Structure formats: structure tokens, C-alpha cells
Structure 1
Amino acid sequence: MGVANFSVVVPATTANLGPGFDSIGLALALYMTVDVEQALSWSVQYEGDEYQGLASGEDNLIVTTILYVAERYGRMVTPQALYVQSDIPLGKGLGSSATAIGAGIEIADQLLALELASKDKVLIGSELEGHADNVSAALLGGVTISYFDGADIDVIHLPEPKIGVVMLVPPKVLLTEESRGLLPELLPHAVAIAGSAASSVMTAAIAREDWETAGRMMEKDVFHEPYRKAFFPEFEKIRLSCRDYGAYGMTISGAGPSVFIAVKQGEEGKIAERLAADFPYYECLAIKPSLVGVVVN
């Protein structure tokens, strides 16, 4: 066995960034910390009321991930007690499930001394999530652009996005399964081409640190925003206000129900204050990108 009695820290994420549906992720400087200690049986204890409804035994997502990794590599893992503290709003489109999966992968890697490569970790996480965008950003930090078809994985990592972030977080939870049920099974070919073009230009612009172009492309999504935005109070008014305040772009965070806004570095606090005054239904968070992914202490 590897090391016991350690901590794993994993960042929150936002995904899609508009037309980068199920492929683009951004790590955010909100973190979940999991302290790991050897025990006689598996247990998970969360700090804070928000997480109290989650499973606390072997059916917890962090634990099932650890056991999945162990089985995948034909290994046995001894039970652990996990103590979890998190700044990440639960069920609000900030990658809380991907963060749990990322933590589980890293804990298994440490306990079993697997020395997994980053690409292997992202592949395992994508197998469990069903898509790569959130989990790749949680594991690697920065911006990730991923291709995952259920078997093969390729990831481009852009480690230092030069933006500030404002998140508008509503009080209500929207389950990912519920949000995905809003999407059509088919898109017309011409519509899909336009969406693909917007995603390609946005990705190239992010790589060149041209966030003005990236922000414009962010708002040309055809894959999910048209079908989900009706569930966001004052969605179009928020977009207009963001433009008035000089934001690069605004879009749905992951599957929702939060709103992601890319702004100039250093302006996130000022813009968050303005939007909080304009749209009191939402909690407005001024956040920086996380330049690091999962970390072991």
C-alpha cells in the first residue's frame, strides 16, 4: 500500500463555456479538501449543512470512485475515514460531482501507489462522469479542451487563463439529469456546423488569450443554452447588464443552474457587486481561475 493520513484538495469547475459542450472546462478557485485516515470501515463525514444529505458510507461518490479505481487495476484497498470540507455549492453547476470523482481518483492513486499519469486519471474520471470537461479541469487546473468518445481520451491543457470570473448562483438546485432532459436528441446539420464553428473559434481565441473574441463566441451556443435558459430568471437581462459592465461574455455554467461570466482580470469584484445589486435573486461570487488541479498534501 501507499501513503495513508494525507489530504487531497480539488478545485471546482465550470464547463461548456457556451458552445464547448461536454468538451471545455475551467477550474475555479473554490476548493474541496478531503482528509484521509485509515479506519476499520468506510465513512465520509462532511462539514457544513449543505452536504449533510449525501451518502456517508461505501455508496458515497468519493468512495465508489476509489473502489472503482482499485477494481480497475485489480487491487484491494483498505477502508478509510474521509473528512470533507468544501467551498463548492452543491448541485449548482460548479462541478461538485466531478470534484468528488477527482478526489476519489487521487486518493486511490495515493493509497495504492499506482503512479497514474494525468491522462489515465482523466480517462478514469471521464468513464465515471460520461464526459471529460469538468473532471479534466478538476484534475489538471486551468482550461482543458477534451475529446472523449467513451473509450479514447485526448486533452489539451491551457494552464493560465488570464481572466476573472463572476458566478451568479441561484438558491435552487437543478439536477444534471433533469437539465439534460431539456435537450433535443437531434440538431439540424447547419445548426450543428454553426455551433462547431463557434466552439472552434472560441477555443483558438482562449489559446491566444483573446478573451474578447472568446466571449463573443461564448454567446453563440446552439447546443444547450436555447433549451435551458428559460429556467434562469432574467437571463437576457443579465446578458445585457454584463455587456454594459464590460464583461467578455456570459453563459450557463455546465448544465446550470448557475451563470458563468468571464471578465477582465481584477474586475471580478466590481462587476459582482453591480450584478448583485441588479439581480438579488442570485448570490454573486467573484472568483479567480484555479491554476492548479488536484493537489496532495
Structure 2
Amino acid sequence: MRVSVPATSANMGPGFDTLGIALKMKNQVVIKPSKFHSVSLKGEGSNNPALKDNNMFISIFNDFYHNLSTKRRNFRFEFFNEVPMSRGLGSSSAVIVSAIASAYAIEGIDLPKKKLLNLALAYENHPDNITPAVMGGFNVATVQDNEVKFIKKDMPKYLKAIVVIPNRPISTHMSRKTLPYKYSKDDAVYNLSHSSLLTAAFMTENWEMLRVASLDKFHQKYRMKQMPELFEVQKASLKAGSLMSTLSGSGSTFFSIAHADDAKRIEKELRVKFPHFRVFITDFDNYGARVDK
């Protein structure tokens, strides 16, 4: 069988730990019966041999498989990764979600997506990442009583994502340490109002409102100071005509949305301006986690 989970862009400007969206870049794993346990890895992370030996997917898969099954079978796991690691595109969430989904699918047990989402919450307590990974689309999410509450909006095909991946990562752990311990009431109201406006803009498809609505005072400027070039990426993307441009997750990737007719030109301008960064266009993913037997 094949299990695939999309990349995600979380935090989304003022939507700190709340807003997330799924991109059509996938991590996939093909699982086959085998006489002995084996792992192969292609794509992102394939040049890191330690990932085969210290594999988070295998650990989480075994946690669930050993609880769900009385059998002790061996499998061959073939990973095909498109999601860059430690770049703010939800690679950890993709691993967590695919591991849980795989364990249930191996045993032929139906796993509704809402249950999958809440099982993943035990490993990733930020719902802005795991919700779009499971559900696809744009999501507003929060956690209440150890359960993810969310509303999803499918993304139209006439919009594209433009992704700029710098040539070095920003540590999520260190990135969190750069954030203020306290925020002023003015900054809190600023972010609350802009996050609400951004959500409304997505839900009503008022795309021209995204540029103003995506402004933030909670996290982006603090994290971007670790890599000052990111201020130029954001400025250049908006100047070229992007509808919005925000730090993806905790960085270092930058995520922009544009009309399909503008996306190629914006991509070209960003490639010329930032030749050492990886720049590309991708669609949005409205399906989320998928199991194909």
C-alpha cells in the first residue's frame, strides 16, 4: 500500500499556531510484506544515513501497530520524500500522520480523518500543522479538551503557492526562543484582528484583502532576524504582485500566494533576485492524508 501526506505552511502571518494550509508536495511511503525489516529512502533526507536507523516514522508506526495487531510481521518501508526537512513545511507532521495512518491501514482498520487528527495531536501539539496535513486545504484550528476543533476551506485552482526555500534551516526550537515572553495588549489586538480578517478573507475568497490581513506582530520579525535575507524575500514577493507573503512555519521557507496568471513572473523575479535559494510554484492540496491499497 501507499500512504501520502502533503506539506503544510503553518502560522500564516498573524495566525500563530492557528492557521495552516496544505501544499501539493508530498511525503509518500510504500509498505510491502517482507521476510525481514528494511528501509529505503529517496528524495529529501536521502543523504542522511541516520534517518534510516533513527526513523521517527518507524517508531510511531510500531507504537500503534503493536497495539493494534497480535501478529508480528516484517515490512519493507520505501520512503519517497518531497517535503524538505527543517524548513518550516511540516515534514514532522507528515511523518507523524503517515505513520499512524499506515499502522491502521496495515490492519485493515478504518480510521476516520478526525480520529487520525486527534491521534496525531499526541505527537504534535500545534494544530496549524497537523490539521492541513490530515484534512488538506486551508484550516483554522484550535485545541479544546485535548481535541482539535477546526474549519476547512478548499483552495481554488486559480491560485498558486510560490515557495522560496533558503539554503540553510532555522531551528524550530531556537526560533521559539527568539519570541517575546510577553506581548502588549496593542500587539495582541493587532494580531487578533488581522488573523480574524485573514480567516474571513479565505472563507469569502476576498483575495485582495490578503496583503493587509496577513500582517503580523507576534512572530515573523523575531524569527526572520535569524536570516535577514528573508525580509528582502518578503518585500520582493509582494512588490512582484503576490497576494500575501509570510514565513512558513518557523522558517526558513517563505510562502506566497498569487493568481495563477502572475505566478510564473513572480517565480522568475524571485529566482533572479535570490539565485542561491530554491524557488518554485506548487498547487494547493485539498485532500490531505491518503491511503491507497
TM (normalized to structure 1)? 0.89
Which residue type is aligned with residue 143 of structure 1? F
Instruction: Report the 3-state secondary structure (helix = DSSP H, G, I; strand = E; otherwise coil) of the residue aligned with 1:238.
Output: helix
For residues 42-71 of structure 1, the C-alpha deviation after alignment (integer angstroms, 9 at most, x for no partner) is 4432114733424324x4111222233346
- 2:99 is the alignment partner of 1:104: yes
Distance in 1, Cα, partners of 2:46 & 2:179: 28
Match of 2:174 among 158, 165, 178: 178
**RMSD, matched Cα:** 2.0
The answer on whether the counterparts of 1:164 and 1:267 sit within 8 Å (CA) in structure 2 is no
Which residue type is aligned with residue 283 of structure 2? K
- 1:76 offset after TM fit, Å? 4.8
Give the alignment of 1:138-287 within 5 angstroms: 138-149=133-144, 151-161=146-156, 162-218=158-214, 220-287=215-282
Distance in 1, Cα, partners of 2:141 & 2:93: 14
Segments of structure 2 that go 5 or more residues without pairing to the other structure are none
- 1:233 offset after TM fit, Å? 3.6
The answer on whether the counterparts of 1:174 and 1:257 sit within 8 Å (CA) in structure 2 is yes
Instruction: Report the 3-state secondary structure (helix = DSSP H, G, I; strand = E; otherwise coil) of the residue aligned with 1:128.
Output: coil
Instruction: Report the 3-state secondary structure (helix = DSSP H, G, I; strand = E; otherwise coil) of the residue aligned with 1:51.
Output: coil
- 2:124 is the alignment partner of 1:129: yes
The answer on whether the counterparts of 1:125 and 1:132 sit within 8 Å (CA) in structure 2 is no
Instruction: Report the 3-state secondary structure (helix = DSSP H, G, I; strand = E; otherwise coil) of the residue aligned with 1:274.
Output: helix
For residues 180-232 of structure 1, the C-alpha deviation after alignment (integer angstroms, 9 at most, x for no partner) is 121122212331122111111101110111122123211x2122112111123
Match in the other structure for 2:78 = 83
State how many pairs are aligned.
289
The answer on whether the counterparts of 1:166 and 1:285 sit within 8 Å (CA) in structure 2 is yes
The answer on whether the counterparts of 2:40 and 2:78 sit within 8 Å (CA) in structure 1 is yes
Distance in 2, Cα, partners of 1:285 & 1:197: 31
- 1:19 offset after TM fit, Å? 1.0
Distance in 1, Cα, partners of 2:189 & 2:70: 47
Distance in 2, Cα, partners of 1:39 & 1:173: 36
Segments of structure 1 that go 5 or more residues without pairing to the other structure are 1-5
Match of 1:63 among 47, 58, 63: 58
Distance in 2, Cα, partners of 1:221 & 1:137: 21
Distance in 1, Cα, partners of 2:262 & 2:64: 41
Instruction: Report the 3-state secondary structure (helix = DSSP H, G, I; strand = E; otherwise coil) of the residue aligned with 1:115.
Output: coil
- 1:142 offset after TM fit, Å? 1.1
The answer on whether the counterparts of 1:276 and 1:283 sit within 8 Å (CA) in structure 2 is yes
Match of 1:28 among 23, 31, 49: 23
Instruction: Report the 3-state secondary structure (helix = DSSP H, G, I; strand = E; otherwise coil) of the residue aligned with 2:115.
Output: helix
Which residue type is aligned with residue 196 of structure 1? L
The answer on whether the counterparts of 1:47 and 1:85 sit within 8 Å (CA) in structure 2 is yes
Deviates more, 1:20-29 or 1:179-188: 179-188
Residues 1:49 and 1:117: Cα distance change in structure 2 (over 3 Å): closer
Match in the other structure for 1:38 = 33
Deviates more, 1:160-169 or 1:195-204: 160-169
Instruction: Report the 3-state secondary structure (helix = DSSP H, G, I; strand = E; otherwise coil) of the residue aligned with 2:265.
Output: helix
The answer on whether the counterparts of 1:88 and 1:94 sit within 8 Å (CA) in structure 2 is yes
Instruction: Report the 3-state secondary structure (helix = DSSP H, G, I; strand = E; otherwise coil) of the residue aligned with 1:251.
Output: strand
